[in-house]
Amino acid sequence: MTNNDFRLGDAANTHNPALITLKENGYELGIYPPDEDEEKVDVSHEIGFWWAKKQGHEFIAGDPLSLLGLVYIWEHRGDNWRNDDDIDMLDQLLTEVYGDE
């Protein structure tokens, strides 16, 4: 990387900026705590699930970055966010990196 390159990764120090971004864009935020009877199988969901609400839409994710990602998908693709005509970008990238195993 040169001095002009920028890199930002998924880490705990990005969670607060993600939440601030959602709040600044008019989303109501909260956390659904895990059920007391629920087994703590996944440590990342120990505190529950994050939610954001706006305009009658609710988004739920395991962490603030995923929550921001879901909101971004909706804001840019709308209620019909899933398009059956979309190319399979996931498969394309996996094939590009790992081949046709």
Per-residue pLDDT tens for 4-16? 799 999 999 999 9
What stretches in the chain show pLDDT beneath 70?
1-2, 36-45, 101
pLDDT in the model for residue 47 = 87
**Residue 7 belongs to a domain:** no
Give residue 62's region: left, alpha or beta (phi > 0; psi -120 to 50): alpha
Q: For residue 14, what are its two tokens? A: 């990005």
**Residue 4 belongs to a domain:** no
**Residue 61 belongs to a domain:** yes
pTM of the entire structure? Answer: 0.81
**Residue 3 belongs to a domain:** no
**Looking at the 3D structure of the chain, how many domains does it have?**
1
Rounded distance, CA 59 to CA 9, Å?
22
